[in-house]
Amino acid sequence: MGFELKHTRGEGFMYAPKITVRPAVKRKDQDVRYRCYSTINKSYANFNLDGDFSHSSRRSQPEITIHTEAFKVIKRTPKGAWIEVGYGKKFVLDGAGKRYAHKTVALARESLIARQQMRLCILEDGLENTELTLYALKRLDGEGEVIPSIIKESGD
């Protein structure tokens, strides 16, 4: 997979996160469905070489943990399965498409990638909307009118 980390901080340096994988715990011969999720730990607090606590304006290296959770199948149906989740039970379809949990860990990781890519698209759209709003607001005078020197006629 060709994914490049493109987010930069501060003076433009690129950080490489520490990655940990936590596999699912599955009992032998148990029918399960898998779901992956991630947790990210970013900290501004550090300990210096003397072991003293220090606060920094620069973040330390982020730590990403990829978790895989195994859900026990309670009942199978022709279209899917009922799984046991922390708050009760949930129906999960088999076959193609979006679903809460998957038959294999590989499919669960692909689903996590798809969810994170969708999240990124939504956040990028929100960022663009915020930038456009700030652009518009900075071009207003104190009375709420657009400053004439920046108005361009269409077709020029």
pLDDT of residue 59: 61
pLDDT of residue 120: 93
Report the distance separating Cα 69 and Cα 34, nearest Å.
6
pLDDT of residue 24: 87
Enclosing domain of residue 95 = 18-140
pLDDT of residue 40: 86
Report the distance separating Cα 62 and Cα 42, nearest Å.
5
Residue 151 lies in a domain: no
pLDDT of residue 9: 44
Cα–Cα distances in angstroms (integers) from residue 120 to residues 72, 89, 115, in the given order:
31, 30, 9
Phi and psi (nearest 5°) for 154? -70, 145
Residue 105 lies in a domain: yes
Which has the closest alpha carbon to 90: 105, 107, 73, 112?
73
If you write DSSP's letter for every residue of 83-129 in order, what string do you get?
Answer: EEETTEEEEEE-SSS--SSBSSHHHHHHHHHHHHHHHHHHHHHHHHH
pLDDT of residue 11: 42
- Checking DSSP bridges between strand 63-76 and strand 18-22, what pairing results, if any? parallel
Per-residue pLDDT 10s for the chain (156 aa) are 445 555 544 444 356 778 888 888 877 778 999 999 999 887 766 666 666 666 665 666 778 899 999 999 999 999 999 999 988 999 999 887 789 999 999 999 999 999 999 999 999 999 999 999 888 888 876 666 766 655 555 554
The model's pTM is 0.71
Contact 102, 108 (CB under 8 A): yes
In total, how many domains does the chain have? Answer: 1
